[in-house]
A and B are shown apart, each in its own frame.
Chain A
């Protein structure tokens, strides 16, 4: 087990290295550079050339990459050209915003999805049917659609603030203000995942309830409620737990979309800004952080699964 985790970690480090190198090189070989994007055609060739020398863009791609590598080895990730700030300051701040969004959405979808799944999986009737119908519809609504619809509702009704993390008017952002701004993006990200959890939990529970051990327990006189909540739920946890590894990827991709639609200042927006401005260091750092998130999240969910299901430890 320990060896396995060590191998996974080593692979993740390699992955992050390859991804950041590749995205740096890709962003560097692309036509145009930061100078042409930011200064445009209005400046004289001499000014542009001077700017290139200042940012080190006059060197060959190989040389730029070599310099970046030696600096990265000292944990200096370069300076963002677009924001004129060290990448190492900029990225953690935005990555934290994305992590906040993703974690909140994960919690919300778990809290909504699993109980509703237990309900619809263990009971019949109108409520279960409504839950099931809503889930089937929401499963077909990726975050792009849920966020557009929620922003539309929020803009139409004025109930909730939309755009950004906090109101611009206030001086220092208050906790309540951030919380209010979080509702639309978090719910947009959480709804499809909650629906997935609901369907999965419902199916798993329905399958478990049909198993002989449940019939046997009920035959011994244990109440149905007790069997569902104590025995069947425990057995039905495994397929749901195995889903979290997949959800990490959806959270990351979904969060990117939601950040775009709701103007949430996260990692995805930062990478897009870097891309538009041909800011290679920024793009590399963002891609690396995204990869790190995914690798870490998957590792964590695999570890959780190993706890719930001893068979998966192999």
Chain B
């Protein structure tokens, strides 16, 4: 006899009263959350932080509503994002050189076989704000829909879609020009102000 398989929505609703239900979410989504962490911080850090994400998810104590897709993953990714930020902040405080607050580039580089590709990827992603970059990566790496990525980032559906469009276009253009810095004549002409350095 097969027992009732509660949906993510049902589990999220029951969490404040039944913390053990987090174990069900873990079995369903731990692998995906691990990949999220590993893509940004490498497998070793991901192993260290995986349990912390689900423990932090228990911390809220308030009822969470699942995304309309029914999946708890967007919510878990949002928590994972904050866990990663805290981890990077702690690491950054121990280093002399500045570190990207949301990405371990060495871990990303390790997945590209050619130095040239590493430079290309940085050229494409460095022209994006951290916010827009995360939106792009949530869709490209985690396979979320724009609406689900909006849930992670706490923005609306229209804003997420328009931002995603702009982020991809900007990243592609950066790849197309091959150099990260280009003249700012157009902006200066429009505003009379110099581009920020």
Question: Do chains A and B interact in one complex?
Answer: no
Which positions in A face B, CB cutoff 8 Å? none
